[in-house]
Structure 1
């Protein structure tokens, strides 16, 4: 069971309603006109984190992505590429109209860009804050998927974009800058190097206090930014054994989707 603040009322709501164990989620993509930008990525990422969090808590999830107008074939292929490089689990179906049939019933939750209109009266609404690139910042990679080899350059690490966008409360606006992306890349490199090192030590259980804190942050309005702060703290704590740090990072990466164990067994590449 998750508790989400419904944008319509401002009150927290349990989803899905007990005793159901199936969460129906509808992610509303902003119109795709001049390519896919940070605002599109952020809405899809929050939908992805919602599904991952629900699954981590034992729920089954059906997610559809709805677009108006419907995507062209080229736009659909571009969207698939973006979701792949950013670790976004593909939705069950992309639809250009009301999603109830694809979901098997009314959506429990709608993930939508802040301020966007929707005709759906049922279900909790999650308004995702704006995301844009800083004007005239030449250090920002082109996020458009229209250039498949340069959509998010390999040197930039596509998952650094994911980390940057997830590092803020989902309702807060985000400005993507070259400096912020560089910081995210450094954090990912450091965490992956540390996880690879910790993996060589004997495994230890995740400390109970860390499990409680991380679970509380996630189930209470998708506090992914708080989870990222918790990981940064855990990495520096001398009282947490290396094996427990590894298990903590690996467990929470099931929601974060940052491929933090990528360098395990390949420390020479770190």
Structure 2
């Protein structure tokens, strides 16, 4: 059972509402700032709403549901549309079935079961279905520790920036609360990704072991109860340090939960470990 808090009522509701086992999701991206002189800059400030829509879809699929997602946006120029596609890709957001300004019912095959939008807004085209309000994201004043987040698709961005560190940082907070991206927080997320990827690569060299039942139960329960991804991240940090969990089981646990997290945790498997 997957339940989320309906922002309109404040109550947990089960999704999908009917037994057809198809989750129809509409993600409403209303605010797309310029972020650069070229007018194509897009960053974490604008894409937390699609990110939560992505996590919802991944969690539903983990629970055996089929998912169709559409993304409604303002009218976009071709350059802005391509920039949106690129930034969603580097943040690990699965492409929606349709992206555009039009009403989503045709693409969804019916009314949406869930609408994902910025906190404090209730889109006029939301209609029926549960509403998930996503907290705003702000960035601290630029420093040497904070890469330019105005355009995460910039090919010149250094590898150390790792856009998936932005994803990790945002997922570490309840989706309804505001988040400020700071240099120290982003650096911490980069370190965590680096350490986990190295550990996963090491564990992959050991015999595979099943995921311990308690870890599977706790992680799935957290995701199913209002998308508590922060609790799953805390669980992974705990698993990484537990001596009673075999390396092969740690690998399977991280790989399984990365289906929802989308952090590319197995990226270094099979590659020579960096010093």
TM surpasses 0.5: yes
- Shorter-normalised TM-score: what interval? over 0.9
The offset of 1:71, in angstroms, is: 1.2
2:148 counterpart of 1:142:
yes
Question: How big is the shift at 1:124?
Answer: 0.5
Which position in structure 1 is the counterpart of 2:107?
Answer: 102
The CA distance in 2 between the partners of 1:113 and 1:139, in whole Å, is 28
Displacement of 1:31 in angstroms is 2.3
Q: 2:273 aligns to what SS in structure 1? A: helix
TM-score by length of 1: 0.95
Residue 199 (str. 1) matches residue 197 (str. 2): no
Moved more, 197-206 or 110-119: 110-119
* Count of paired positions: 268
Matches for 1:63-78 after TM superposition, within 5 Å? 63-68=69-74, 70-78=75-83
- The C-alpha deviation readout for 1:222-267, integer Å capped at 9, x for no partner, is 0001100000000001111111000000000000000101111113
Deviation at 1:3, TM superposition (A): 0.3
Secondary structure, in 3 states, of the residue corresponding to 1:5?
Answer: strand
- Distance in 2 (alpha carbons) for counterparts of 1:217 and 1:78: 33
Kept in 2, the 8 Å contact 1:29–1:67? The answer is yes
After superposition, give the CA deviation of every residue in 1:60-95 in whole Å (9 maximum; x if it has no partner). 100000012x11111110011101111110100112
Match of residue 83, structure 1, among 83, 88, 102: 88
Structure 2 gap ranges (5+)? 35-40
Contact 1:39 1:113 in 2 (8 A): no
Checking the alignment, whether the CA contact within 8 Å between 1:23 and 1:60 is kept in structure 2 is yes
User: Does the CA contact (< 8 Å) of 1:5 and 1:221 recur in 2?
Assistant: yes
Runs of 4+ in 1 over 4 A off after TM superposition: none
Gaps of 5+ in 1: none
Q: TM-score, normalised by structure 2?
A: 0.93
